[in-house]
Structure 1
Amino acid sequence: MVPRPRRIAAATLIGGSATLSGFYGFLIGEAILARRAIGTTDDRPPSPDGIYGDDLPGRTIRVLVLGDSAAVGYGVTRADATPSAMIGVGLAHVMDAPVEVQCRAVVGAQTSDLMGQIDLDPDWHPDVAVIVIGTNDVTHRVTPHASARMLGQVVRRLVADDCDVVVGTCPDLGTVQPIHQPLRAVARRLSRALARKQTIATVEAGGRAVSLGDLLGTLFAEKRDVMFGADHFHPSETGYANMVSVLIPAVSASLRQKQTSLAYAGQTRDLVAVADAAAVSVEHPGTQVAPDAGPGGRFASVLRRRRAS
């Protein structure tokens, strides 16, 4: 006969397992409902590929855009409203040089798809790659560790080919309306955990990471009707512009660092451990984290986005 304490422990374990299984079953059901509410489509905006600022005097800068629907510009109907086009126009203005853009991002892409996006045209050599990825890793239950490891491999490959890399980390999915509690709390925890891991992996591989967080905080929370598109999940044209506004400074800083060997055109910054920098960036959307010890370095510099007064 099984001693009473063991029977109690076994019953508790079985009951706890059943409760946990029921909870995860509930979360899966909520996820299915959220996906149905959000919907999906294979439609893409018109191609933004081309040269922006072709009348400018500088050497043409080649920009490769990789990632998922946020990089594609899901939901917009004009090429000039896509993130790629806005990056092209904005960077041409900042750098006073023509910018040639290729967008290979795909709606629904995960980090595991990035290598394939690079391989679509291996003979086209970009000066800088902009990557926005992570949301689909969370929704498809890819662990943050595995996702970040794959991202690090992508960044290392690009850096080895003399291409600067700027990564917009996973947005905070806890701000998305079609996702209800408690799934929203779980999505927030997982997306923030992934953003931290992405930052560390990117910086250690020699790239720059920009925290997209909840796509720049209270602005998206307070102006949902303006910042989110019709599905209330993907950004609107205005929302994409807000995202691009924090990516362009990182791209231009990276290119200028290569040209002038200066870390950033501004005041000097203290170095911090990469993990600490990642933790800061997750709490402050729009924060840029740049490597300061080369690929494999354990230190980084943090540049907080200036807030409008």
Structure 2
Amino acid sequence: MAKKSLARKSAYAGGGVLVATAAFVGVLVGEAALAVRATHQVKMPVAPSPTGWYGALHAGRPINIALLGDSSAAGYGMTEVEDTPGAVLASGVSEKAHRPVRLHDLSEIGAKSSDLHPQVEKAIAAEADVAVILVGSNDVIRRVRPTVAVSHLAQAVTRLQEAGVKVLVGTVPDLATATPILPPLRQVMRAWSIRIAAGQIFHVVRAGGHTVSLGDVLGPAFKATPAFWFGADLFHPSAAGYHALGEVLVPPTLSVLGLVGDENAILETYNGKQVMPLAAASLRAVIRPGTEIDPAPRPRGRVGRNWARARSFENDQRSPRRGERPAEIPPLAEPHPADR
């Protein structure tokens, strides 16, 4: 009798776990549907393509950049080409390198990592010097297994590397910062984002590519003031968010091209987001009253134990510099002094 009673209790307990699990999954599915509905209720324009020439006044051999990925690469929601991350990236690289830039925007709205392969072939056909890839958000939203998503990205990186194209991947950000996503789905999305981002870093570097962690660099600002950094649908970035994304990609792109050292690229990337040694952050707080100092993780490749984020919302939310409007014809420039 005792054994039967124990078996009956175990069965009830197991049934209770199954019911609770089913209910939890139901909540997640329901919240996901609500988030998608809330996002899609806002009509967002498809941004104009930033494909074209930048820095026509600069001399030297043009730098050929291919931009691959999803709506975050395309600048979904923008109405002016100058506000797209591609335009900001190409303008920034041209300005820093003092060379003209040819940008090929090959991104596709809604693309997952498995959709990269046609974009990769186009980048190779365009003879790109570097391919900048922004992908992974749709893998998170559509619950693609991280191992599957990362595998497709690794294949894309390997194919580009074999064709002589250098690669920079902006890892998937923390999608839990988006307003329409509520707990407990928010925690699930954060865990999924972190798993894919970690896998992207490991496999991209192993395949010979380079990465920049968008979650580390941009995540705190997006989380602190989402109304400023997110667009009308509260999911895709605002103009300020896309400007920040494009600016963050400039230093590591220059590093991948061998135009600046890795250390300088890391410092520029993180200093642009006000992450710096604690002593420097403290000095900034003295110079700029009202600056908030928060502890921050040590940027990869830097030494020292104490790093901090110096944040001033008034300064952070100034109108960032936009990209330039691309030209359709190549520049007629004299050779760069380094090429003579």
TM over 0.5: yes
The Cα shift of 1:118 comes to: 2.1
Q: Which has the higher contact order (CA 8 A, sep 6+)?
A: 2
Q: After the TM superposition, which residues 286-301 of structure 1 pair with which residues of structure 2 at under 5 Å, given as runs?
A: none
Percent identity of paired positions between Structure 1 and Structure 2: 39
The Cα shift of 1:52 comes to: 0.3
Match of 1:23 in 2: 24
Runs of 4+ in structure 1 off by over 4 angstroms are: 40-43, 265-269, 283-288, 301-309
The answer to whether the 8 Å contact 1:130/1:168 transfers is yes
Q: TM-score, normalised by structure 2?
A: 0.75
The Cα shift of 1:308 comes to: 5.6
How many residues align? The count is: 280
The answer to whether the 8 Å contact 1:213/1:285 transfers is no
Amino acid at match of 2:18: S
- Report which stretch shifted further, 144-153 or 219-228: 219-228
Q: After the TM superposition, which residues 149-298 of structure 1 pair with which residues of structure 2 at under 5 Å, given as runs?
A: 149-213=151-215, 216-256=218-258, 264=262, 266=264
Match of 1:33 in 2: 34
Q: Which runs of 5+ in 2 are unaligned?
A: 268-294, 312-340
Match of 2:135 in 1: 133
Change (3 A) 1:107 1:212: same
Secondary structure (helix, strand or coil) at the match of 1:138 reads helix
The answer to whether the 8 Å contact 1:171/1:195 transfers is yes
Amino acid at match of 1:88: A
The Cα shift of 1:267 comes to: 10
Change (3 A) 1:10 1:224: same
18, 32, 52: which one aligns with 2:54: 52
User: Which structure has the larger Rg?
Assistant: 2
Change (3 A) 1:214 1:70: farther
The Cα shift of 1:197 comes to: 0.8
Change (3 A) 1:303 1:244: farther
Change (3 A) 1:267 1:163: closer
Change (3 A) 1:108 1:284: farther
Matched residues in 1 for 2:75 and 2:250: separation?
16
Match of 2:118 in 1: 116
Change (3 A) 1:129 1:168: same
Matched residues in 1 for 2:67 and 2:112: separation?
14
The answer to whether the 8 Å contact 1:228/1:236 transfers is yes
The answer to whether the 8 Å contact 1:128/1:163 transfers is yes
Match of 1:291 in 2: none
Match of 1:146 in 2: 148
The Cα shift of 1:264 comes to: 2.5
Q: After the TM superposition, which residues 101-112 of structure 1 pair with which residues of structure 2 at under 5 Å, given as runs?
A: 101-112=103-114
Matched residues in 2 for 1:253 and 1:161: separation?
19
Q: TM-score, normalised by structure 1?
A: 0.82
Matched residues in 1 for 2:89 and 2:146: separation?
28
Matched residues in 2 for 1:146 and 1:11: separation?
36
Matched residues in 1 for 2:234 and 2:139: separation?
19
Change (3 A) 1:215 1:73: farther
Matched residues in 2 for 1:307 and 1:199: separation?
23
The answer to whether the 8 Å contact 2:179/2:226 transfers is no
- Report which stretch shifted further, 174-183 or 219-228: 219-228
Change (3 A) 1:18 1:265: closer
The answer to whether the 8 Å contact 2:124/2:163 transfers is no
Match of 2:13 in 1: 12
The answer to whether the 8 Å contact 1:55/1:98 transfers is yes
Matched residues in 2 for 1:285 and 1:237: separation?
27
The answer to whether the 8 Å contact 2:161/2:208 transfers is yes
Matched residues in 1 for 2:231 and 2:44: separation?
16
Counterpart check, 1:82 vs 2:80: no
Matched residues in 1 for 2:74 and 2:55: separation?
21
Secondary structure (helix, strand or coil) at the match of 1:51 reads strand
Secondary structure (helix, strand or coil) at the match of 1:209 reads strand
Change (3 A) 1:286 1:149: farther
